[in-house]
Structure 1
Amino acid sequence: MLEAPDAPEAVEAERVLLSLRHSHRELHLGVAEARALVGQAVEWLRRGMSGNDLRRVLTSDLPPGGVRSAVGFLRHRLVQKMPAPVTAVCGAPGPAASVRVAEPVSRREPDAAPLPPPPGPVAAPRYAAPLVTCEGPGTEHVFRSLGGETQCPDCRQEAAWARWAEYRIASLGGDVPTGPEEEQPTGWRGRLAAAVAAAADRRTEPDMAVPENPRGAPGHLPV
Protein backbone atom coordinates (compact mmCIF):
# COMPACT_ATOMS: atom_id res chain seq x y z
CA MET A 1 0.00 0.00 0.00
CA LEU A 2 1.55 3.24 -1.15
CA GLU A 3 1.19 6.30 1.04
CA ALA A 4 1.27 9.94 -0.04
CA PRO A 5 4.84 11.08 0.67
CA ASP A 6 3.60 14.36 2.18
CA ALA A 7 1.09 12.77 4.57
CA PRO A 8 2.00 13.41 8.24
CA GLU A 9 2.10 9.70 9.10
CA ALA A 10 4.25 8.92 6.06
CA VAL A 11 6.69 11.71 6.94
CA GLU A 12 6.98 10.40 10.51
CA ALA A 13 7.45 6.81 9.38
CA GLU A 14 10.15 7.74 6.87
CA ARG A 15 11.96 9.84 9.47
CA VAL A 16 12.02 6.89 11.90
CA LEU A 17 13.29 4.46 9.22
CA LEU A 18 16.09 6.77 8.14
CA SER A 19 17.14 7.40 11.77
CA LEU A 20 17.81 3.70 12.44
CA ARG A 21 21.35 4.09 11.11
CA HIS A 22 22.22 6.20 14.14
CA SER A 23 21.40 3.29 16.47
CA HIS A 24 22.91 0.45 14.39
CA ARG A 25 25.01 0.85 11.27
CA GLU A 26 23.66 -2.48 10.02
CA LEU A 27 20.21 -0.87 9.63
CA HIS A 28 21.37 1.82 7.22
CA LEU A 29 18.67 2.52 4.60
CA GLY A 30 18.67 4.69 1.56
CA VAL A 31 15.80 7.05 0.80
CA ALA A 32 14.30 4.72 -1.78
CA GLU A 33 14.63 1.71 0.54
CA ALA A 34 13.00 3.61 3.40
CA ARG A 35 10.07 4.72 1.21
CA ALA A 36 9.52 1.12 0.19
CA LEU A 37 8.86 0.29 3.84
CA VAL A 38 6.84 3.41 4.67
CA GLY A 39 3.47 1.74 4.02
CA GLN A 40 4.04 -0.95 6.64
CA ALA A 41 5.52 1.56 9.13
CA VAL A 42 2.53 3.86 8.70
CA GLU A 43 0.23 0.99 9.67
CA TRP A 44 2.10 0.73 12.97
CA LEU A 45 1.41 4.41 13.66
CA ARG A 46 -2.26 3.98 12.80
CA ARG A 47 -2.50 1.16 15.32
CA GLY A 48 -1.51 3.40 18.19
CA MET A 49 2.30 3.03 18.18
CA SER A 50 4.44 6.15 18.49
CA GLY A 51 7.59 6.86 16.51
CA ASN A 52 9.75 6.03 19.54
CA ASP A 53 7.92 2.73 20.04
CA LEU A 54 8.47 1.83 16.38
CA ARG A 55 12.18 2.65 16.60
CA ARG A 56 12.61 0.61 19.78
CA VAL A 57 10.98 -2.49 18.25
CA LEU A 58 13.01 -2.31 15.04
CA THR A 59 16.40 -1.89 16.78
CA SER A 60 16.07 -4.32 19.70
CA ASP A 61 17.19 -7.97 19.78
CA LEU A 62 19.16 -7.98 16.53
CA PRO A 63 20.44 -11.36 15.26
CA PRO A 64 23.72 -12.46 16.88
CA GLY A 65 25.32 -12.97 13.49
CA GLY A 66 24.41 -9.47 12.33
CA VAL A 67 21.97 -8.16 9.70
CA ARG A 68 22.88 -9.03 6.11
CA SER A 69 20.08 -7.04 4.45
CA ALA A 70 18.62 -4.07 6.27
CA VAL A 71 15.59 -3.89 3.94
CA GLY A 72 14.77 -7.59 4.26
CA PHE A 73 15.27 -7.68 8.01
CA LEU A 74 13.14 -4.59 8.64
CA ARG A 75 10.36 -5.74 6.28
CA HIS A 76 10.23 -9.10 8.06
CA ARG A 77 10.10 -7.45 11.50
CA LEU A 78 7.46 -4.95 10.45
CA VAL A 79 5.23 -7.81 9.31
CA GLN A 80 5.90 -10.29 12.10
CA LYS A 81 5.64 -7.83 15.01
CA MET A 82 2.73 -5.78 13.64
CA PRO A 83 0.53 -4.76 16.64
CA ALA A 84 -3.16 -5.63 16.74
CA PRO A 85 -5.51 -3.07 15.23
CA VAL A 86 -7.30 -0.71 17.57
CA THR A 87 -11.04 -1.40 17.77
CA ALA A 88 -13.33 1.59 18.02
CA VAL A 89 -15.47 1.58 21.16
CA CYS A 90 -19.18 2.54 21.11
CA GLY A 91 -18.99 3.61 17.47
CA ALA A 92 -16.56 6.44 18.16
CA PRO A 93 -14.23 7.07 15.16
CA GLY A 94 -10.45 6.91 15.39
CA PRO A 95 -8.04 4.65 17.27
CA ALA A 96 -7.92 6.89 20.36
CA ALA A 97 -11.62 6.80 21.15
CA SER A 98 -12.30 7.00 24.84
CA VAL A 99 -14.20 4.29 26.64
CA ARG A 100 -17.10 5.37 28.82
CA VAL A 101 -18.36 2.96 31.42
CA ALA A 102 -22.13 3.01 31.75
CA GLU A 103 -23.43 3.71 35.21
CA PRO A 104 -25.41 0.86 36.79
CA VAL A 105 -29.14 1.21 36.35
CA SER A 106 -29.73 0.79 40.07
CA ARG A 107 -27.74 3.95 40.79
CA ARG A 108 -29.25 6.18 38.13
CA GLU A 109 -32.18 8.14 39.50
CA PRO A 110 -32.61 11.24 37.33
CA ASP A 111 -36.03 12.05 38.76
CA ALA A 112 -35.12 11.61 42.44
CA ALA A 113 -34.66 14.74 44.51
CA PRO A 114 -31.16 15.24 45.94
CA LEU A 115 -30.74 14.22 49.54
CA PRO A 116 -30.36 17.06 52.05
CA PRO A 117 -26.94 17.40 53.65
CA PRO A 118 -26.55 15.84 57.09
CA PRO A 119 -27.20 18.22 59.96
CA GLY A 120 -24.11 19.75 61.48
CA PRO A 121 -23.26 19.79 65.17
CA VAL A 122 -25.52 21.98 67.29
CA ALA A 123 -23.55 24.78 68.89
CA ALA A 124 -23.99 25.05 72.65
CA PRO A 125 -25.51 28.36 73.78
CA ARG A 126 -22.96 30.82 75.11
CA TYR A 127 -23.18 31.25 78.89
CA ALA A 128 -23.49 34.79 80.20
CA ALA A 129 -22.96 35.36 83.90
CA PRO A 130 -25.78 37.22 85.70
CA LEU A 131 -25.50 40.88 86.64
CA VAL A 132 -25.47 41.48 90.43
CA THR A 133 -25.18 44.61 92.54
CA CYS A 134 -21.76 45.03 94.13
CA GLU A 135 -21.78 45.16 97.96
CA GLY A 136 -18.62 47.24 98.06
CA PRO A 137 -18.41 50.92 99.10
CA GLY A 138 -19.07 53.88 96.84
CA THR A 139 -21.87 54.48 94.40
CA GLU A 140 -24.11 51.60 93.46
CA HIS A 141 -22.80 49.60 90.53
CA VAL A 142 -23.25 46.12 89.03
CA PHE A 143 -20.92 43.46 87.69
CA ARG A 144 -21.11 39.89 86.30
CA SER A 145 -20.56 37.32 89.03
CA LEU A 146 -18.83 34.27 87.54
CA GLY A 147 -18.36 32.31 90.77
CA GLY A 148 -20.86 33.73 93.25
CA GLU A 149 -18.78 36.80 94.18
CA THR A 150 -20.59 39.63 96.00
CA GLN A 151 -18.07 42.36 95.20
CA CYS A 152 -16.63 43.47 91.88
CA PRO A 153 -12.90 42.97 91.19
CA ASP A 154 -12.09 46.64 91.91
CA CYS A 155 -13.78 46.57 95.32
CA ARG A 156 -12.11 43.26 96.22
CA GLN A 157 -8.73 44.77 95.31
CA GLU A 158 -9.47 47.86 97.38
CA ALA A 159 -10.41 45.68 100.38
CA ALA A 160 -7.17 43.73 100.05
CA TRP A 161 -5.16 46.97 100.12
CA ALA A 162 -7.09 48.14 103.19
CA ARG A 163 -6.27 44.92 105.06
CA TRP A 164 -2.61 45.33 104.20
CA ALA A 165 -2.71 48.95 105.42
CA GLU A 166 -4.09 47.84 108.80
CA TYR A 167 -1.13 45.50 109.27
CA ARG A 168 1.27 48.24 108.22
CA ILE A 169 -0.26 50.83 110.57
CA ALA A 170 -0.03 48.36 113.46
CA SER A 171 3.66 47.69 112.70
CA LEU A 172 4.36 51.46 112.73
CA GLY A 173 2.83 51.91 116.20
CA GLY A 174 -0.86 52.26 115.47
CA ASP A 175 -2.97 55.29 114.69
CA VAL A 176 -1.53 58.68 115.60
CA PRO A 177 -3.43 60.38 118.49
CA THR A 178 -4.69 63.84 117.61
CA GLY A 179 -5.56 66.83 119.66
CA PRO A 180 -8.99 68.32 120.14
CA GLU A 181 -8.53 70.75 117.24
CA GLU A 182 -6.86 68.31 114.88
CA GLU A 183 -8.92 66.36 112.37
CA GLN A 184 -8.61 62.57 112.52
CA PRO A 185 -7.40 61.21 109.13
CA THR A 186 -10.06 59.18 107.35
CA GLY A 187 -9.61 56.15 105.12
CA TRP A 188 -6.78 53.72 105.19
CA ARG A 189 -4.66 55.86 102.89
CA GLY A 190 -4.83 58.89 105.21
CA ARG A 191 -4.26 56.83 108.35
CA LEU A 192 -1.32 55.02 106.74
CA ALA A 193 0.26 58.31 105.63
CA ALA A 194 -0.11 59.74 109.15
CA ALA A 195 1.41 56.62 110.73
CA VAL A 196 4.37 56.70 108.33
CA ALA A 197 4.99 60.39 109.03
CA ALA A 198 4.82 59.85 112.80
CA ALA A 199 7.29 56.96 112.59
CA ALA A 200 9.70 59.13 110.61
CA ASP A 201 9.42 61.92 113.21
CA ARG A 202 10.20 59.50 116.02
CA ARG A 203 13.36 58.38 114.28
CA THR A 204 14.64 61.97 114.03
CA GLU A 205 13.98 62.97 117.72
CA PRO A 206 17.18 63.11 119.96
CA ASP A 207 17.47 60.47 122.63
CA MET A 208 16.83 61.70 126.23
CA ALA A 209 19.89 60.33 128.17
CA VAL A 210 20.20 60.28 132.02
CA PRO A 211 23.41 62.12 133.23
CA GLU A 212 26.05 59.81 134.65
CA ASN A 213 27.28 59.96 138.27
CA PRO A 214 30.89 61.05 138.45
CA ARG A 215 31.52 58.16 140.75
CA GLY A 216 30.00 55.80 138.27
CA ALA A 217 26.89 55.02 140.38
CA PRO A 218 23.87 55.72 138.20
CA GLY A 219 20.89 57.33 139.89
CA HIS A 220 22.85 58.98 142.79
CA LEU A 221 23.88 62.66 142.72
CA PRO A 222 27.18 63.70 144.35
CA VAL A 223 26.98 65.13 147.93
Structure 2
Amino acid sequence: MTEQHFSAHGRARTGHSHQGVGHVDERHDEQFTVVGNHLAQHPELSLTAIGLAVHIQSLRSGTLVSIKALAAKFPEGETRIASALRELEAHGYLARIKERLPSGRIVTRTISYNKPRTRTAPPPPKPHSESPQAPAMPTPRPTPTQTHDLPTHRIARDVLAGLRTVDPRLHLAECDVRRLAPAVAAWLERGVAPDDVQRTLSAGMPREGVRHPAGFLAHRLTALLPPPLPPKPEAERPAPLQNCEGCDRAFRAPYQGRCRDCRTACPDRAAA
Protein backbone atom coordinates (compact mmCIF):
# COMPACT_ATOMS: atom_id res chain seq x y z
CA MET A 1 0.00 0.00 0.00
CA THR A 2 2.82 2.36 0.82
CA GLU A 3 6.35 2.35 -0.47
CA GLN A 4 9.28 3.79 1.42
CA HIS A 5 12.68 4.51 -0.14
CA PHE A 6 15.35 4.82 2.52
CA SER A 7 18.21 4.86 0.04
CA ALA A 8 16.68 7.24 -2.47
CA HIS A 9 19.13 9.91 -3.65
CA GLY A 10 17.25 13.16 -3.81
CA ARG A 11 18.22 16.78 -3.63
CA ALA A 12 16.33 19.93 -2.93
CA ARG A 13 14.85 21.43 -6.08
CA THR A 14 13.61 24.97 -6.20
CA GLY A 15 11.50 25.98 -9.16
CA HIS A 16 10.49 29.57 -9.79
CA SER A 17 8.08 30.48 -12.50
CA HIS A 18 6.47 33.71 -13.51
CA GLN A 19 3.24 31.84 -14.14
CA GLY A 20 1.60 28.95 -12.32
CA VAL A 21 2.82 27.08 -9.29
CA GLY A 22 6.41 26.87 -8.14
CA HIS A 23 7.93 23.91 -6.26
CA VAL A 24 10.37 23.53 -3.42
CA ASP A 25 11.16 19.79 -3.17
CA GLU A 26 13.17 18.15 -0.44
CA ARG A 27 14.04 14.52 0.12
CA HIS A 28 12.00 12.52 2.63
CA ASP A 29 14.05 9.95 4.52
CA GLU A 30 11.14 8.56 6.60
CA GLN A 31 7.39 8.75 7.06
CA PHE A 32 6.45 9.26 3.42
CA THR A 33 4.15 7.67 0.84
CA VAL A 34 4.71 7.40 -2.91
CA VAL A 35 1.62 8.46 -4.88
CA GLY A 36 1.31 8.21 -8.65
CA ASN A 37 0.26 11.15 -10.79
CA HIS A 38 -2.47 8.93 -12.21
CA LEU A 39 -4.15 9.45 -8.81
CA ALA A 40 -2.93 12.92 -7.82
CA GLN A 41 -3.98 14.35 -11.22
CA HIS A 42 -6.93 12.06 -11.95
CA PRO A 43 -9.28 13.94 -14.32
CA GLU A 44 -12.51 12.30 -13.11
CA LEU A 45 -12.04 11.90 -9.35
CA SER A 46 -13.13 14.64 -6.97
CA LEU A 47 -10.58 16.30 -4.71
CA THR A 48 -12.22 14.61 -1.74
CA ALA A 49 -11.74 11.19 -3.34
CA ILE A 50 -8.11 11.92 -4.27
CA GLY A 51 -7.27 13.14 -0.77
CA LEU A 52 -9.02 10.16 0.83
CA ALA A 53 -7.16 7.73 -1.42
CA VAL A 54 -3.81 9.29 -0.45
CA HIS A 55 -4.75 9.09 3.24
CA ILE A 56 -5.77 5.43 3.00
CA GLN A 57 -2.59 4.53 1.10
CA SER A 58 -0.52 6.11 3.87
CA LEU A 59 -2.10 3.98 6.62
CA ARG A 60 -0.71 0.79 8.08
CA SER A 61 -2.35 -2.47 7.07
CA GLY A 62 -5.15 -3.32 9.46
CA THR A 63 -6.14 0.30 10.19
CA LEU A 64 -9.91 0.73 10.36
CA VAL A 65 -11.20 2.73 7.38
CA SER A 66 -14.97 2.45 7.79
CA ILE A 67 -17.15 5.43 6.93
CA LYS A 68 -17.78 6.21 10.60
CA ALA A 69 -14.09 5.91 11.48
CA LEU A 70 -13.07 8.29 8.68
CA ALA A 71 -15.87 10.76 9.48
CA ALA A 72 -14.62 10.89 13.07
CA LYS A 73 -11.19 12.04 11.81
CA PHE A 74 -12.18 14.51 9.06
CA PRO A 75 -14.74 17.33 8.76
CA GLU A 76 -16.34 16.14 5.50
CA GLY A 77 -19.03 14.01 7.16
CA GLU A 78 -20.31 10.51 6.41
CA THR A 79 -22.18 11.40 3.20
CA ARG A 80 -19.21 12.97 1.40
CA ILE A 81 -16.83 10.27 2.63
CA ALA A 82 -19.20 7.53 1.46
CA SER A 83 -19.47 9.24 -1.93
CA ALA A 84 -15.67 9.52 -2.21
CA LEU A 85 -15.24 5.83 -1.34
CA ARG A 86 -17.71 4.92 -4.08
CA GLU A 87 -15.69 7.01 -6.55
CA LEU A 88 -12.50 5.16 -5.61
CA GLU A 89 -14.25 1.81 -6.02
CA ALA A 90 -15.59 2.83 -9.43
CA HIS A 91 -12.10 3.78 -10.66
CA GLY A 92 -10.32 0.72 -9.28
CA TYR A 93 -8.44 2.27 -6.34
CA LEU A 94 -10.50 0.54 -3.66
CA ALA A 95 -12.41 -2.68 -3.13
CA ARG A 96 -14.75 -3.48 -0.24
CA ILE A 97 -15.54 -7.18 -0.05
CA LYS A 98 -18.01 -8.85 2.29
CA GLU A 99 -16.79 -12.22 3.51
CA ARG A 100 -18.24 -14.89 5.74
CA LEU A 101 -15.73 -16.23 8.25
CA PRO A 102 -15.71 -19.91 9.28
CA SER A 103 -17.41 -18.81 12.50
CA GLY A 104 -20.37 -17.52 10.46
CA ARG A 105 -19.68 -13.84 11.12
CA ILE A 106 -19.79 -11.54 8.07
CA VAL A 107 -17.03 -8.93 7.84
CA THR A 108 -16.09 -6.28 5.26
CA ARG A 109 -12.51 -6.37 4.01
CA THR A 110 -11.14 -3.19 2.42
CA ILE A 111 -8.36 -3.42 -0.18
CA SER A 112 -6.49 -0.27 -1.28
CA TYR A 113 -4.62 -0.26 -4.60
CA ASN A 114 -1.85 2.25 -5.30
CA LYS A 115 -2.44 1.57 -9.00
CA PRO A 116 -6.00 1.29 -10.34
CA ARG A 117 -7.08 -2.27 -11.02
CA THR A 118 -8.93 -3.37 -14.16
CA ARG A 119 -11.12 -6.35 -14.97
CA THR A 120 -8.06 -8.42 -15.91
CA ALA A 121 -6.23 -7.71 -12.66
CA PRO A 122 -5.55 -10.68 -10.34
CA PRO A 123 -7.74 -11.05 -7.25
CA PRO A 124 -6.57 -9.52 -3.95
CA PRO A 125 -4.56 -11.64 -1.48
CA LYS A 126 -6.44 -14.23 0.52
CA PRO A 127 -7.42 -13.24 4.07
CA HIS A 128 -6.21 -15.05 7.17
CA SER A 129 -8.80 -17.52 8.40
CA GLU A 130 -9.92 -17.57 12.02
CA SER A 131 -9.71 -21.36 11.98
CA PRO A 132 -6.42 -22.94 10.88
CA GLN A 133 -8.26 -26.08 9.71
CA ALA A 134 -10.69 -24.19 7.47
CA PRO A 135 -9.51 -23.97 3.83
CA ALA A 136 -9.14 -20.45 2.48
CA MET A 137 -11.46 -19.91 -0.48
CA PRO A 138 -10.43 -17.36 -3.14
CA THR A 139 -12.79 -14.40 -3.32
CA PRO A 140 -13.27 -12.65 -6.68
CA ARG A 141 -12.55 -8.92 -6.63
CA PRO A 142 -15.66 -6.85 -7.46
CA THR A 143 -15.38 -4.81 -10.64
CA PRO A 144 -16.52 -1.18 -10.79
CA THR A 145 -19.65 -2.27 -12.65
CA GLN A 146 -20.56 -4.71 -9.87
CA THR A 147 -19.93 -2.12 -7.19
CA HIS A 148 -22.27 0.44 -8.72
CA ASP A 149 -24.96 -1.98 -9.87
CA LEU A 150 -27.00 -1.27 -6.74
CA PRO A 151 -30.64 -0.14 -7.10
CA THR A 152 -29.90 3.35 -5.74
CA HIS A 153 -27.06 3.90 -8.21
CA ARG A 154 -29.09 2.58 -11.13
CA ILE A 155 -31.82 5.10 -10.27
CA ALA A 156 -29.18 7.83 -9.90
CA ARG A 157 -27.82 7.09 -13.38
CA ASP A 158 -31.37 7.18 -14.81
CA VAL A 159 -31.94 10.57 -13.14
CA LEU A 160 -28.81 12.00 -14.76
CA ALA A 161 -29.39 10.44 -18.17
CA GLY A 162 -32.98 11.70 -18.17
CA LEU A 163 -32.03 15.33 -17.56
CA ARG A 164 -31.64 15.89 -21.30
CA THR A 165 -35.38 15.24 -21.72
CA VAL A 166 -36.07 18.00 -19.17
CA ASP A 167 -33.60 20.45 -20.70
CA PRO A 168 -31.49 19.58 -23.79
CA ARG A 169 -28.66 21.74 -22.42
CA LEU A 170 -28.10 19.13 -19.68
CA HIS A 171 -27.01 16.39 -22.09
CA LEU A 172 -24.31 14.28 -20.39
CA ALA A 173 -21.80 11.77 -21.68
CA GLU A 174 -21.91 8.26 -20.23
CA CYS A 175 -18.64 8.77 -18.33
CA ASP A 176 -20.10 11.91 -16.70
CA VAL A 177 -23.25 10.01 -15.73
CA ARG A 178 -21.19 7.36 -13.93
CA ARG A 179 -18.96 9.95 -12.27
CA LEU A 180 -21.88 12.01 -10.92
CA ALA A 181 -24.07 9.04 -9.94
CA PRO A 182 -22.63 8.76 -6.37
CA ALA A 183 -23.56 12.40 -5.69
CA VAL A 184 -27.13 11.83 -6.90
CA ALA A 185 -27.29 8.65 -4.80
CA ALA A 186 -26.55 10.79 -1.74
CA TRP A 187 -29.68 12.85 -2.51
CA LEU A 188 -31.78 9.71 -2.93
CA GLU A 189 -30.48 8.29 0.34
CA ARG A 190 -31.69 11.48 2.07
CA GLY A 191 -35.26 10.86 0.95
CA VAL A 192 -35.41 13.08 -2.16
CA ALA A 193 -37.55 11.56 -4.94
CA PRO A 194 -35.92 11.09 -8.39
CA ASP A 195 -38.34 13.58 -10.03
CA ASP A 196 -37.54 16.16 -7.36
CA VAL A 197 -33.81 15.70 -7.96
CA GLN A 198 -34.28 16.38 -11.68
CA ARG A 199 -36.53 19.35 -10.97
CA THR A 200 -34.01 20.92 -8.58
CA LEU A 201 -31.01 20.37 -10.85
CA SER A 202 -32.75 21.83 -13.92
CA ALA A 203 -34.48 24.77 -12.21
CA GLY A 204 -33.33 28.35 -12.88
CA MET A 205 -31.02 27.54 -15.77
CA PRO A 206 -28.85 30.50 -16.94
CA ARG A 207 -30.18 32.28 -20.01
CA GLU A 208 -26.87 32.16 -21.81
CA GLY A 209 -26.82 28.38 -21.55
CA VAL A 210 -24.40 25.93 -19.95
CA ARG A 211 -20.97 25.43 -21.50
CA HIS A 212 -20.00 22.45 -19.29
CA PRO A 213 -23.12 20.55 -18.13
CA ALA A 214 -21.15 18.03 -16.02
CA GLY A 215 -19.34 20.73 -14.05
CA PHE A 216 -22.54 22.74 -13.67
CA LEU A 217 -24.41 19.73 -12.24
CA ALA A 218 -21.48 18.72 -10.01
CA HIS A 219 -21.59 22.17 -8.40
CA ARG A 220 -25.36 22.05 -7.90
CA LEU A 221 -25.25 18.52 -6.46
CA THR A 222 -22.79 19.71 -3.82
CA ALA A 223 -24.14 23.21 -3.12
CA LEU A 224 -27.83 22.22 -2.96
CA LEU A 225 -27.45 18.91 -1.11
CA PRO A 226 -30.35 18.76 1.39
CA PRO A 227 -29.72 17.87 5.03
CA PRO A 228 -30.52 14.36 6.27
CA LEU A 229 -34.04 13.73 7.44
CA PRO A 230 -34.46 13.87 11.23
CA PRO A 231 -34.82 10.47 12.86
CA LYS A 232 -38.37 9.28 13.40
CA PRO A 233 -39.50 9.54 17.00
CA GLU A 234 -39.83 6.22 18.71
CA ALA A 235 -43.39 5.14 19.43
CA GLU A 236 -44.32 5.35 23.09
CA ARG A 237 -44.25 1.90 24.59
CA PRO A 238 -47.40 0.82 26.47
CA ALA A 239 -47.26 0.22 30.20
CA PRO A 240 -46.40 -3.37 31.19
CA LEU A 241 -49.06 -5.87 32.16
CA GLN A 242 -49.74 -6.30 35.89
CA ASN A 243 -51.90 -8.79 37.78
CA CYS A 244 -54.59 -7.10 39.87
CA GLU A 245 -54.11 -7.77 43.57
CA GLY A 246 -57.90 -7.81 44.02
CA CYS A 247 -59.30 -9.91 41.17
CA ASP A 248 -56.09 -11.27 39.61
CA ARG A 249 -57.11 -9.84 36.26
CA ALA A 250 -54.38 -8.53 33.92
CA PHE A 251 -54.23 -4.77 33.36
CA ARG A 252 -51.64 -2.28 32.11
CA ALA A 253 -50.01 0.00 34.65
CA PRO A 254 -46.47 1.18 35.47
CA TYR A 255 -46.63 -0.37 38.95
CA GLN A 256 -48.31 -3.32 40.66
CA GLY A 257 -51.64 -2.72 42.41
CA ARG A 258 -55.32 -2.99 41.65
CA CYS A 259 -57.18 -2.58 38.35
CA ARG A 260 -59.58 0.31 37.74
CA ASP A 261 -62.70 -1.73 38.63
CA CYS A 262 -61.23 -2.82 41.98
CA ARG A 263 -60.10 0.71 42.79
CA THR A 264 -63.60 2.02 42.01
CA ALA A 265 -65.35 -0.68 44.04
CA CYS A 266 -63.06 -0.34 47.09
CA PRO A 267 -61.46 3.11 47.00
CA ASP A 268 -60.33 3.05 50.64
CA ARG A 269 -58.66 -0.30 50.29
CA ALA A 270 -57.04 0.69 46.97
CA ALA A 271 -55.60 3.81 48.58
CA ALA A 272 -54.09 1.70 51.37
TM-score by structure 1 length?
0.42
Structure ID, larger Rg = 1
TM-score by structure 2 length?
0.35
Greater per-residue strand proportion: 2
